Amino acid sequence: MPFASSRHKAPNTSISNPMTDSIADRFQRARQFTEQLVQPLSAEDCMIQSMDDASPTRWHLAHTTWFFETFILREQADYSEFDPQFNYLFNSYYNTIGEQFPRSQRGLLSRPGLQQILEYRDHVNQQLIQRLEHPEFLTQYERLLEIGIQHEQQHQELILTDIKHALSCNPTWPKFHDLPLDTTSRNTPSEPITIDEGLYEIGHFGPGFAFDNESPRHQAFLHQCTVSSSLVTCGEYLEFMEAGGYQRPEYWLSMGWAAIQQQGWQSPMYWLNVDDQPMQFTLGGLLPLNLDAPVTHVSFFEADAYARWCGKRLPTEFEWEVAASQTSIADNDPFVDWFVDQGLAIHPTCSPSGFCGSVWQWTASSYLGYPGYRPPAGAVGEYNGKFMCDQHVLRGGSVATQRSHIRPTYRNFFPAATRWQFSGIRLAD
């Protein structure tokens, strides 16, 4: 374990409350948790980049640190940079800040080493913690600190999805963790949710953090429809496969049919047939396919094709949000409790129907700005707005999403062929 050290006190394993905890406490929790999350990984694990869309764990550790250094600490006259070259190496996509090292080549960076990246994290942590003791500093940078914390938590999710893909490339099927968190069944069917025709308020409102792409709140007209209260399971998706779903072009969008032909897709990502037994690679290693668990690691194309095969469709993101707002939220999931006990409080609060927190759910909506949306001024404005093209919205959060990020208005977005995220299917009619 490369992270075993006395540099930090043991993390507080209770769940952070954004409404009551100080921002200094939440900053330290988020930073400590990232390092605790990657404890099972070796230095070699942390260097792997298994595809262009994924990043090495070491890069995530450095980039989240770069965010705080770039947007807050470099503004301070008395701050000394840890290494000026890091501004190029660990800038993700902020053109306003400067050039970036090519994303597809991040796995080629053997230097700086893991230990130096951890020292970089310590340097930035200490500099920020010292400054957070001054009320005027906190007042000036509170919004940027909050964005940085939320950004760090987003990268905690990416660490899990990226290392899962990397480990899946190893023919020995190594485990990330003994708990197969991504195959647990929490999908309780109940009556579909009916949405009456009319105008509905969409988007973030009230207290609490939200990203800029969740606003402004606005009205959307919805036709009468129903949204399923449960997610599509592995067993249900297996029926689609056995019915020849991947061989029948009538169910597929043109680009989707081209994708499965070019990529050779015949099943969701990480499904395998081992000795005539359906298996699935998970963060807990290779396990028998759980037919009752929500199907995950499917692209928008696969979700759409399955919906067509069923004679249904994917909900729009507005239908999804209205349906989600009509479900109750439970806070007694034993799966959550296990993670809290281990200090891995990433698993979100789930509704009894699994509406939130099991898998990200593809919607039929393209990722666009809401009416009246304007990106924030400055480099931070590149965070969300610049990606509003050729992407689809996902809602709901997954097993890897931070609990505090689970809200009906939260918008994730990826290109239609994306499969390495924990993405699944909810149907509408």
Query: pLDDT tens across 305-348, in order?
Result: 999 999 999 999 999 999 998 875 433 343 344 344 444 434 43
Residue 176 located in a structural domain: no
Residue 354 has pLDDT above 80, yes or no: no
Give the CATH number for residue 295: 3.90.1580
Tell me, yes or no, whether 257 and 333 share the same domain. yes
**pLDDT category of residue 17 using cuts at 50, 70 and 90:** low
Residue 145 has pLDDT above 50, yes or no: yes
The total number of structural domains that make up the chain = 2
Query: pLDDT tens across 231-280, in order?
Result: 999 999 999 999 999 999 999 999 999 999 999 999 999 999 998 899 99
The domain boundary residue, chosen from 168, 193, 216: 168
168 φ/ψ sector (left φ>0, alpha ψ -120 to 50, else beta): alpha
- Summarize the chain as % helix, strand, coil (round to 5): 40, 10, 50
Residue 104 has pLDDT above 70, yes or no: yes
**pLDDT category of residue 381 using cuts at 50, 70 and 90:** low
Tell me, yes or no, whether 230 and 159 share the same domain. no
**pLDDT category of residue 402 using cuts at 50, 70 and 90:** confident
Average pLDDT of the segment spanning 375-380: 75
Beta-carbon-side half-sphere exposure of residue 220 (alpha carbons within 13 Å) = 18
Side chain identity, residue 102: P
Beta-carbon-side half-sphere exposure of residue 146 (alpha carbons within 13 Å) = 18
Residue 11 located in a structural domain: no
Q: Is the peptide bond before 216 cis (omega within 30 degrees of 0)?
A: yes
Please report, for the chain, how many H helices and E strands are present, in that order. Answer: 10, 11
Cα four-point dihedral sign 12, 14, 15, 18: negative
Give the CATH number for residue 116: 1.20.120
Ranges 275-279, 289-293, 335-339, 415-419, most confident:
415-419
* Greatest extent of the chain over all pairs of C-alpha atoms, in Å: 66
Tell me, yes or no, whether 144 and 238 share the same domain. no
Query: pLDDT tens across 172-189, in order?
Result: 999 998 876 676 665 666
Average pLDDT of the segment spanning 383-393: 85
Side chain identity, residue 34: T
Tell me, yes or no, whether 243 and 269 share the same domain. yes
Tell me, yes or no, whether 148 and 199 share the same domain. no
The domain boundary residue, chosen from 168, 194, 229: 168
Range of the domain at 398: 181-424
- How far is the C-alpha of 271 from the C-alpha of 281, rounded, in Å? 7
Its pTM stands at 0.90
Tell me, yes or no, whether 287 and 321 share the same domain. yes
The domain boundary residue, chosen from 108, 143, 168: 168
Residue 5 located in a structural domain: no
Tell me, yes or no, whether 327 and 251 share the same domain. yes
Q: Which residue has the higher pLDDT, 15 or 428?
A: 428
